[in-house]
Amino acid sequence: MSHLFTSARWWRDGSSCNLHVSTDGKVTYRGPDEPFADDETDLQGAFILPGFVDCHCHILATGLDLQKLDLTGCASREGVLDRVRERAAVTLEYGWLLAVQYDQTRFEDGRHLTADELETATNGLPAILRHTSGHACIANRTAVDLADTSDEKSGEIVRDEAGIPTGVLLEKAMQAVYRLLPKPTRQEMSDAILAAAQRMSGMGITSAADMGSTHDLEDQIWAYRNAAERGARLRMRLYPNWSQVFKSKIDLAELLPPSPMLRIGGVKLYADGAIGAATAATYEEFTVGGTGQLMYPAEELQRRVSIADEAGYSIAIHSIGDRSTDVVLDALASTRDPSRHRIEHAMILSDAQIARIVALGVCVSMQPEFLLRFDHAYKRQLGDERASRLKRVRSLLDAGVALGFSSDTPIVPGNPWDGIRMATEHPTEAIAYDEAVDLYTRGAAALDDDEDFGRLDLMQFADFQVYAENPREQPSPGPRLVAFEGITAAPSSHGAEA
């Protein structure tokens, strides 16, 4: 059935906008006229925008995190312990106390909790507090005692002078405790994906790319297919971890035939860590000392990139520090077409690196909302001056780099309007409102290789969101309506969250 949405106003200039959508969900007219349609919806002067595209987030993890203790806003060790104590008092399904958004950089002295301090609040339960960066965690003494802490192959199990683990686990060493957790079933994962899709749709997001894969890949793909079949209100693109794709010899094309709603987008690789955990690989030292760590030696990254490139995948590489990004650019330079591949984050960039990104045609995915949530951590780890030069959006746009915005939720709450606002308020690299919205719609879609939505142009899919008030004047509004490919839904209350 064709559909005409009438009396909308176009987001860029407020001009009168009617949208005619054909039976296959594509835009067949956009403008002031009213072509005939089988059905009609009066949008009553609301503002219409393309749906947001979040080209780097963690859909499944977002859904699973909705069930964990959220430590957002805890600015002292005592504050964290109080929340943990409350949670420990109620019975937990798996017998583990799991929390997210722990952030020691908010404490006055920046010192981590210790395993023994945490133990005092956990009522005998094993407990893990995941750092807000996702690159570190704190385990209590019970969890540390359950874990095998002798086989740290990579990352770091931090120890005191006597060699006893302090409870702080960095990067891959976090697996020592996370591997002990009961795994979610396929059905639980599907439920989590549905919950996350609903939350994201409530923020006006119509397409999202899930970066990486932490559970069994076949189970995970089953869960995504199941969630899509059950009507998840989100287009989903999956970028499983390189090692899962190439070490298990899974035939992804067979496991997941591509569709406009759900398909494999590429593979994910990590080149370094994060600034908050001082594990990003930088040239200049962190204020806490050290220059971070590369995930692999350059030759190994090169080898992995070559294998993925030869198998025809688009490669998305996590790289935050400038030292890491040079290694990544070296590896991508050897691919057949570097413009098919992406750097995720690229937080610290020199002018020379931007010029090299342009010359190679490599794409960049950035998360402006980080500047809102982690400003305090960046200043602490890098000093004010270096922190003010992170995420060089203005320079990348001026240089003509293929750039797209994303959130990395659940690392941050992930409301695109918060990212857009931060990009327009960047201390040294501010961009205009229209540019920021464009990067969170068309720009992000292009990075996922989706050319058939993101602009509401003719013959594109009619993925859109609608606001009663002009979002240009309302900093973080929630959409009144989100629609795409035959799925139209009033968003839940999540959309209005600040």
Q: Rounded to whole angstroms, how far apart are CA atoms 171 and 293?
A: 10
Task: Collect contacts of 14-21 with beta carbons under 8 A, ≥24 apart.
Answer: 14/47, 14/470, 17/48, 19/48, 19/456, 19/462, 19/464, 21/462
Binding mask of the shown chain, residues 129 to 168, with x at each position contacting Zn ion by CB under 5 A? ----------------------------------------
Q: With contacts defined by CB under 5 A, name the span among 66-74, 141-149, 157-165, 210-218 that binds Zn ion.
A: 210-218
On whether the CB atoms of residues 246 and 308 are closer than 8 A, the answer is: yes
Residue 132 CB, shortest distance to Zn ion, in Å, is 13
Q: Rounded to an integer, what is the distance from CA 71 to the centroid of its chain?
A: 19
By beta-carbon proximity to Zn ion, the closer residue of 54 and 408 is 408
By beta-carbon proximity to Zn ion, the closer residue of 54 and 152 is 54
Residue 61 CB, shortest distance to Zn ion, in Å, is 9
By beta-carbon proximity to Zn ion, the closer residue of 414 and 454 is 414
By beta-carbon proximity to Zn ion, the closer residue of 302 and 365 is 365
Structure tokens at 210: 């899930």
By beta-carbon proximity to Zn ion, the closer residue of 129 and 211 is 211
Residue 318 CB, shortest distance to Zn ion, in Å, is 7
Q: With contacts defined by CB under 5 A, name the span among 204-212, 240-248, 258-266, 474-482 that binds Zn ion.
A: 204-212
Residue 470 CB, shortest distance to Zn ion, in Å, is 32
Residue 365 CB, shortest distance to Zn ion, in Å, is 9
Residue 193 CB, shortest distance to Zn ion, in Å, is 16
Q: With contacts defined by CB under 5 A, name the span among 47-55, 376-384, 400-408, 460-468 that binds Zn ion.
A: 400-408
Reference 442, options 405, 471, 476, 399; nearest CA is 405
Size of interface with Zn ion, in residues (CB under 5 A): 2
Determine if the peptide bond prior to 410 is cis (ω within 30°): yes
Q: Rounded to whole angstroms, how far apart are CA atoms 347 and 370?
A: 10
Residue 109 CB, shortest distance to Zn ion, in Å, is 29
Restricting to residues 432-491, which ones interact with Zn ion according to CB under 5 A? none
Residue 272 CB, shortest distance to Zn ion, in Å, is 13
Half-sphere CA count of 138, side-chain side, radius 13 A: 26
Q: Rounded to whole angstroms, how far apart are CA atoms 339 and 396?
A: 15
- 408 near Zn ion, judged by CB under 5 A: yes
SS3 401: coil
Structure tokens at 454: 């993101």
Question: Phi and psi dihedrals of 114, rounded to 5?
Answer: -105, 165
Instruction: Residue 7: count other Cβ atoms within 10 Å of its Cβ.
Output: 14
- Strand extents, DSSP E, 254-329: 262-264, 267-270, 315-319
Q: With contacts defined by CB under 5 A, name the span among 59-67, 93-101, 206-214, 425-433 that binds Zn ion.
A: 206-214
- 211 near Zn ion, judged by CB under 5 A: yes
- The enclosing H or E element of 161 equals none
Reference 210, options 241, 236, 243; nearest CA is 236
By beta-carbon proximity to Zn ion, the closer residue of 117 and 272 is 272
Structure tokens at 434: 């229209």
By beta-carbon proximity to Zn ion, the closer residue of 88 and 211 is 211
Structure tokens at 178: 């996370």
- 327 near Zn ion, judged by CB under 5 A: no
Residue 85 CB, shortest distance to Zn ion, in Å, is 31
- 347 near Zn ion, judged by CB under 5 A: no
Residue 301 CB, shortest distance to Zn ion, in Å, is 17
AA letter at 425: E
Reference 335, options 373, 379, 368, 303; nearest CA is 303
Q: With contacts defined by CB under 5 A, name the span among 8-16, 402-410, 439-447, 469-477 that binds Zn ion.
A: 402-410
Q: Rounded to whole angstroms, how far apart are CA atoms 478 and 496?
A: 4
Residue 419 CB, shortest distance to Zn ion, in Å, is 14
Q: Rounded to whole angstroms, how far apart are CA atoms 433 and 417?
A: 10
Structure tokens at 10: 């176009």
Cβ neighbours for 258, distance < 8 A, ≥ 6 positions apart: 264
Residue nearest to Zn ion (CB): 408
- 65 near Zn ion, judged by CB under 5 A: no
By beta-carbon proximity to Zn ion, the closer residue of 211 and 466 is 211
Residues that bind Zn ion (CB under 5 A): 211, 408
